[in-house]
Structure 1
């Protein structure tokens, strides 16, 4: 699932929204690291703060639950994709 997310379109109509990207990031971090274990980035690291906040929002979720939600989010994303043929191939890989 991670390799599929990493290779999602970088532009075009099937490009993940910023919210999608943050959700994938937060669930990935929760699934692989667990609870936030680093201080919140400084004032001028805007992207870092947004990513940290997204990860922090998953606090209390088990790593296994985060993995399941990550795959579920990917399935939902692919089901909405405009390239149905490619999406179907990718969905087969995460079932």
Structure 2
């Protein structure tokens, strides 16, 4: 997979409208975060955040959950996950443009 396609997918996730046809839950966002971190940095190398850093722990746990996945595979899964979500709202014109960007 080209890095350009992955970079485009990352950009699209950032541009998804909050009130659009594709709604990401916190768990969905954590999946994207974990794959993004794995694709860019590889396995987690930091210690788990402290007990009161709930967001940090959730992000760390999600990233740790994909430990061992090759970085290229993480990029492919990131793009595939995004396409899965986009296809749910494929009748929307803005979503069609996002899908076209990944083609």
TM-score by length of 1: 0.92
What's the RMSD between the two structures over aligned residues?
Answer: 1.4
Gaps of 5+ in 2: 1-8
Number of residue pairs matched by the alignment = 95
Distance across 1 between alignment mates of 2:77 and 2:49: 26
Cross-structure match for 2:75: 67
Q: Which of the numbers 21, 29, 35 marks the counterpart of 2:29?
A: 21
What is the match of residue 54 of structure 1?
A: 62
4+ aligned runs moved over 6 Å, structure 1: none
Relative contact order (alpha carbons < 8 A, sep ≥ 6): 1 or 2 greater?
Answer: 2
The Cα shift of 1:15 comes to 2.6
Which of 23, 36, 43 is residue 44 of structure 2 equivalent to? 36
Please, which runs of 5 or more residues in structure 1 have no aligned partner? none
